[in-house]
Amino acid sequence: MQTLTFSSVLYGVAQLAGLDRDNLPTHFFKQARDLASQRLSVAWDTERWPDLVRVESATVTTASSISTAPYPTTAGMILQVYQKDPRATTNAIPVGYSLYDTGTAQQIVLQDNDTPVYVEHKIVRPNLTGDTYDASTDYAEDDQVYYSTTGQFYNMTTDAAAGTVPTDTSKWTVVSIPKIFENYLIRGIYADYLRANGQLEIAGLEDRTAEAFITVEADKVYRQQGQVKKLNFVGY
């Protein structure tokens, strides 16, 4: 998956807003970050983007006549469950399933007990919450920061002493945002920025521009690259 740097989005919005990209106030960064997270949610769920789809094999367990498979840890949304790996065959027959929350974990309840099954899912959408990295701060596991040196957000994977820079891959992981959403995010965030400042008419125009960009990306996937999900027909 090609990814973008958040700084490219931030600077793109700043230029449209007529701001000096080299001297952006903290409140503007936080506003752009929060709006980006909201817009990313919309873009993420709009289409079945191939960049976001993964397939994992899962072992089926049966207890009290109920067959279940674990919910993949990287899954944000289950798309389908198959008897065979859909990446390896066009004869990957879907398995009937339902999603169940035990209160402590999510499970996939299956109508068949054949094992393994192959779970096709969309990965979890990142949530942008981090403030600018401060070398004097002791960060803890799951904390998020924005590192202006690289223009990226990072999540801390394990506690580390103050001064552990986000590019230290033993302590941090970069937050990946698909490159295909870059133009949509810039225009969409700018539309929301205008709306927050009472410029409703111009905001509406920018909304339509943002939607046009996401439509172009969908066209690339479905028409130009031919990534249309084929239907499976089962004969009896």
Percent helix, strand, coil in the chain (nearest 5)? 35, 25, 40
Domain 6-49+126-197+204-223 class? mainly beta
Closest by CA position to 142, among listed 155, 128, 127 = 155
> Which pLDDT tens digit goes with each residue over 140-150?
999 999 999 99
Predicted confidence band of residue 231 (pLDDT cuts 50, 70, 90): very low
The strand pair at 144-147 and 131-132 is best described as parallel
* CA angle (192, 5, 131) in 5-degree steps: 70
What is the mean predicted confidence (pLDDT) over 215-227? 82
Query: Among 39-48, 114-123, 214-223, where is mean pLDDT lowest?
Result: 214-223
- Domain ranges for the chain, please list them: 6-49+126-197+204-223, 50-123
Predicted confidence band of residue 228 (pLDDT cuts 50, 70, 90): low
Residues of the chain above pLDDT 90, percent: 87
